[in-house]
A and B are shown apart, each in its own frame.
Chain A
């Protein structure tokens, strides 16, 4: 059932013609509803690539594992920096793991 949009946090990217999640989704799955909030038009078709989750500027999108495959409720939260990414992972027992690494180097 990925992805899940937090309707409180989502601001539809305000003035943007398309919200960023709609711009990047490789499956054309994300769209802006009449209420100017993002939604996924076919959650079964999501590849879990997390492009939408990573690009959301307000952290409103969460990728979820379908319940038939994994238990409630684990979280994986990406924070994008200019040349690095930080991931916070919380498992179903509440254990927290963080990963931070460079995802870009200075171009020559």
Chain B
């Protein structure tokens, strides 16, 4: 499609859309939210604003090889919450949210199966578990299946619209704005309720393969998920929780493919260069190779740091059939890993798979970074709801949990919609946002400024080296965080020099601006947690131990008047009985 070139703000057409519920981000949670909203009330006008095309967007664009949580017969939602709590070192987690997700989890997964997703089951129809909670699927078509159902539901899908900000009526959210990366239009969605269900934030940190390779995006999380869903709310003073609990994972080295598939699913032990089973050796008391996720992420890096790297998932005991099944799993989720092995000429039954740490991500699906929400999934901004990666407090949601949360947010939003009316449009606000959004493009080809790529790379190096990235084995300290904050502010001030040469570049410009907002808040969270609660995910070399006084949620809110990020805490409440540290 030919794309517009824009040289004057007056050339930019504004398209206004009115909806009852606006969904920002048509991924897993967003599709389920749309389907649920239309099911509750077919008369509701539901619009989805999607940056890519919903048939292949976001974290599940490539597909999925497992549903990581599906409650087997004989186990309860409370059991799942206990497991989830133990995976983050005994919490704190939002057990109210986690339990409400777990209660409807299986139904959401079975929705997917009813719609055409192959879940591998035995002759008796029992799902094939490859861990306590993970079931294997052939999920290459997972995203197209969800998208088809969202479209069938009658929701209006606006593909290729990049979200930029929230529409506000004083403190209340009344929709959102965006721009068309293909048509160059400025979109104004007026909505009684808005559900943010974008992906988490990838690309805050430098991936170690991005230097001197032609692959800057060798990341595990979708690199097109940049944290816009968080940034739009942060700018309006929404409360965020637990951003310091970063998702860091052991991944295949040089390719960043999932390793739990190999080590847990195929029981291939994690070993160091000496062939020692490092998790069994150091963490047998926490489950060995099945130890909590942050332990599994951090342990191989400890080996490298101690001079005992490289580290591997030892696949040399696999039968040829198992090796083929393992590759098939990858073909469903991260297909190019099979190509990667072929490009190394590697037979994994003879040579183990090398593993390494990923760059850190801010996500509300695996970890619990995101908006602080109520049980109805409304954020602290009235009218703004969050689901999936955007909603905080509930780790280990994965596919099924994000689907349920989409449904719950839709129910919350539908109820809220019934009690409010839509105010008139604030023309000043819209004009200001339009000007802000298109400014980098209108600076012109002769402008002496900074490209989005340059700013992104500066930010990624800064975060990597000072805010606990992979090059520093995830460690940071007070002084480094202060340095990061100082330079993040400088970068934010430099946004006046950012230029975009076309609409794609304009998208990249807003992506780095949004990442900067999330990076600053994340850095404040890392600074506030003066302890090491989840080594690897959050490691303070100046505070190496757990501080019992920080057994609580770390919260942040941007003060819109001062522009400063204010930090505070909320208490943890244990609702599900049992020892917090064991599943």
Question: Which chain A residues have a beta carbon within 8 Å of chain B's beta carbons?
Answer: 1-2, 17-18, 22-28, 31-32, 41-51, 55, 63-72, 74-76, 78, 85, 87, 89-93, 95, 97, 99, 101-108
Contact = CB atoms under 8 A, between A and B. Distances in A.
A69 B141 contact: no
B214 A87 contact: no
A47 B138 contact: no
Given A24-B56, A66-B215, A71-B343, A76 B507 contact: no
Given A28-B160, A44-B214, A69 B343 contact: yes
A46 B215 contact: yes
Contacts of A90: 342
B213 interface: yes
Nearest to B221: A47
Given A47-B222, A68-B214, A104-B141, A26 B336 contact: no
B300 interface: no
A65 to B, nearest CB: 5
Interface of B: 1, 3, 52-53, 55-58, 61-62, 113-118, 138-141, 145, 160, 181-182, 209, 212-219, 222-224, 254-255, 324, 327-328, 331-332, 334-336, 338-346, 504, 507
Contacts of B138: 101-103
Given A23-B53, A49-B62, A103-B141, A89 B213 contact: no
Nearest to B225: A26
Contact of B215 (A2, A71, A92): A2
A63 B339 contact: yes
Contacts of A101: 118, 138, 328
Contacts of A99: 324, 327-328, 331
A24 B216 CA distance: 20
Contacts of B61: 26, 47, 49, 51
A66 B213 contact: yes
A107 B115 contact: yes
Given A27-B52, A27-B224, A69-B255, 10 more contacts: A28-B160, A46-B217, A48-B218, A87-B331, A89-B338, A93-B345, A104-B116, A104-B117, A104-B141, A107-B114
A74 B339 contact: yes
Contacts of B181: 28
A95 B504 CA distance: 40
A87 B345 contact: no
For the complex, would chain B's binding face be called helix, strand, loop or mixed by DSSP majority? loop
Contacts of B504: 28, 41-42
A48 B217 CA distance: 8
Given A26-B222, A51-B62, A69 B213 contact: yes
B114 A69 contact: no
A22 B56 CA distance: 11
Given A45-B217, A68-B213, A69-B218, A2 B224 contact: no
A49 to B, nearest CB: 4
A53 to B, nearest CB: 8
Contacts of B145: 104
5 contacts: A24-B56, A26-B52, A47-B223, A68-B212, A91-B346
A97 B335 contact: no
B28 to A, nearest CB: 13
A-B interface, 9 closest residue pairs, ranked by CB to CB distance from nearest = A70-B343, A74-B342, A91-B342, A49-B62, A48-B336, A76-B339, A74-B343, A68-B213, A51-B56
A103 B213 CA distance: 33
A103 B65 CA distance: 11
A26 B341 contact: no
- Residue among A32, A68, A103 with most chain B CB within 10 A: A103
Nearest to B217: A47
A106 B116 contact: yes
A6 to B, nearest CB: 16
Contact of A76 (B3, B139, B217, B338): B338
A70 B344 CA distance: 6
A25 to B, nearest CB: 7
A107 B115 CA distance: 5
